[in-house]
A and B are shown apart, each in its own frame.
Chain A
Amino acid sequence: MRGRRTKLKRTSNFDLKCGQREVLVELFHALAQPLTSLSCSLSSFLKKPQQLEQSVVKELLKQVETITWITNSIRALIDAAEVVPRAQTCEVADQLVESISELLPVAASKNVKLSLTGDHLPQIQIDQEKLRLAIFYLLDFALHTSRKGTRVAIETQQGRTGKSVLRVQLPSFRRVRKEPGRHLVVRATDDLRHRTVLAIARTILETAEARFQQRRIGDRLFLEFHLPPASRETDQPLTRRFRRPA
């Protein structure tokens, strides 16, 4: 009983902070550091231009690259929230199979396995291209935050309330830690980069009225999307275990 309470407590306390607004706030906050750094450096060079060495210019370019990435992330998150008028009924499982097949070489390079199971085939009203992006980013997040030698399990299920559930289980979630000695900008944004990718996937699916839930039990992380009932759903079993490409 004590063990169960501990599990629940650990589960309820965990928050990956991958909502659109949360990540946007962090991205804007992250802009401050490289902008300040650039502003101060350029002001000092104006006074002492002889200090403008090539190594310094390279460092400044890195700051600009960080600003560029943050700006593009903000834009991608805002675009993700836009509801496209040409929504259609899309098969989630088809897109899962396609994205998993495409990402298998990446999974192999990270020594992570992927499996897909399900007791029915959910559908969703969404633009097909946006669904492709959402699934790709969701799996990309899972692959880049899983430990080597683990299996990421993707499931589709019929939920209790008639909703379908798309669940991604990361058996050993690896949150990017701050590494001493690395550059401040990179250090501050490594974890944020991964959460931005997940936030884009989540925001896209939320435009199709999916509801997101996350749970963490020990090292295991469960990402769940509760999809609203579509017009037609199939109750065919879905079981695929993907092999690493030769």
Chain B
Amino acid sequence: MRILIVEDDPSLASFVKKGLEAEHYAIDIASDGEQARAQACEFDYDLLILDLNLPRLDGVSALRAVRTRKPSLPILILTARTKVDDRIQCLDLGADDYLVKPFSFAELSARIRALLRRSHVPAESVLTVGDLKLDRVERRVERAGQRIDLTSKEFALLEYFMRNAGRRITRAMIVEHVWNLSFDTTTNIVDVYVNYLRRKIEDPAGPRLIHTIRGVGYELTSHARAQN
């Protein structure tokens, strides 16, 4: 997997590069928006990590230009801007996710894995994990043919889990994508809703579907996995 990091702070770019290379990604770095636009359009990358505050060409303009030329390239925005409007603008322009600085490397790594996997999965109307099915159009959930009633928030949470099945997702990702909160109140809402969801979709006698990953968050998978 080849990733282009666009970051004008050389020390941050270098730390992120080292960390991602340790996870076996091939990394290129661009330090301004113009260079980013040229490299991203010319070469085939699996992911673009784009800072918004860039010299020569600002990140939003670079994002707009790259998205026009590469409609299916996953793009993760890194920024110090937190306003809801900035986030909405980037997502409207075609960014796939948005991570606010300062961030932990574990958070960045989790989001990269989720994006890389999602880019290979077509946006299906029915998501399936084992015998669990979620119909996004009919808003219907079934397990082994048995219908399961969920509240709208539980449905949104399960949909997010199923779109990222087999990948670790952090609490921050869930709070942002399902609850649309950009500030971590340290609320236990995610854990509480995950427990409710487990009670509804899991068979108490069977293997667990939603696994807790200590210090990270959760992972939905139909396969048994060792608890971290």
User: Are A72 and B84 in contact, with the CB atoms below 8 A?
Assistant: no
Segment among A25-33, A47-55, A129-137, A151-159 that sits at the interface with chain B: A129-137
Q: Which residues of B contact A76 (CB under 8 A)?
A: 82, 182-183
Interface size on B, residues (CB 8 A): 23
Give complex CA distance A245, B149 in Å: 13
Also in contact, A106 and B104, with CB within 8 A (given A72-B184, A200-B183)? no
> B146 on the interface (CB 8 Å rule)?
no
User: Are A75 and B186 in contact, with the CB atoms below 8 A?
Assistant: no
> B102 on the interface (CB 8 Å rule)?
yes
Give complex CA distance A109, B100 in Å: 30
> B181 on the interface (CB 8 Å rule)?
yes
> A67 on the interface (CB 8 Å rule)?
yes
Q: Which residues of A contact B83 (CB under 8 A)?
A: 79, 82
> B193 on the interface (CB 8 Å rule)?
yes
Q: Which residues of B contact A133 (CB under 8 A)?
A: 181
Contact of B82 among A68, A79, A197, A245 (CB under 8 A): A79
Give complex CA distance A133, B192 in Å: 19
User: Are A109 and B188 in contact, with the CB atoms below 8 A?
Assistant: yes
Interchain Cβ contacts within 8 Å, total number: 55
User: Are A129 and B82 in contact, with the CB atoms below 8 A?
Assistant: no
User: Are B185 and A197 in contact, with the CB atoms below 8 A?
Assistant: yes
Chain A's closest residue to B193 (CB) is A105
Q: Which residues of B contact A67 (CB under 8 A)?
A: 102
Given contact pairs A61-B104, A67-B102, A106-B187, a sample of 7 additional A-B residue pairs in the complex whose CB atoms are under 8 Å apart: A68-B102, A72-B184, A84-B85, A106-B189, A129-B84, A140-B187, A144-B186
Give complex CA distance A136, B185 in Å: 10
Also in contact, A68 and B182, with CB within 8 A (given A79-B83, A82-B83, A106-B188)? no
> B25 on the interface (CB 8 Å rule)?
no
Q: Which residues of A contact B113 (CB under 8 A)?
A: none
Chain B window 76-90, contacts with chain A (Cβ cutoff 8 Å), 1 for yes, 0 for no: 000000111100000
Q: CB within 8 Å of B: which residues of A?
A: 61, 64-65, 67-69, 71-73, 75-76, 79, 82, 84, 102-103, 105-106, 108-109, 129, 133, 136-137, 140, 144, 193, 197, 200, 245
> B15 on the interface (CB 8 Å rule)?
no
User: Are A137 and B196 in contact, with the CB atoms below 8 A?
Assistant: no
Chain B's closest residue to A200 (CB) is B183
Q: Which residues of A contact B186 (CB under 8 A)?
A: 144, 193
Q: Which residues of B contact A68 (CB under 8 A)?
A: 102-104
Expressed in whole angstroms, the minimum distance between the Cβ of A213 and any Cβ of chain B is: 23
Q: Which residues of A contact B151 (CB under 8 A)?
A: 245
Give complex CA distance A82, B81 in Å: 14
User: Are B153 and A102 in contact, with the CB atoms below 8 A?
Assistant: yes
Segment 196-217 of B: residues with Cβ below 8 Å from A: 196
Give complex CA distance A68, B182 in Å: 13
Provide 18 A-B residue pairs closer than 8 Å at the C-beta atoms, listed in order of the A residue: A65-B104, A67-B102, A68-B102, A68-B104, A72-B183, A79-B83, A79-B84, A102-B153, A102-B189, A105-B189, A105-B196, A106-B187, A106-B192, A108-B192, A136-B181, A137-B185, A144-B187, A193-B185
Give complex CA distance A79, B85 in Å: 11
Chain B's closest residue to A132 (CB) is B180
Expressed in whole angstroms, the minimum distance between the Cβ of A47 and any Cβ of chain B is: 22
Chain B's closest residue to A110 (CB) is B188
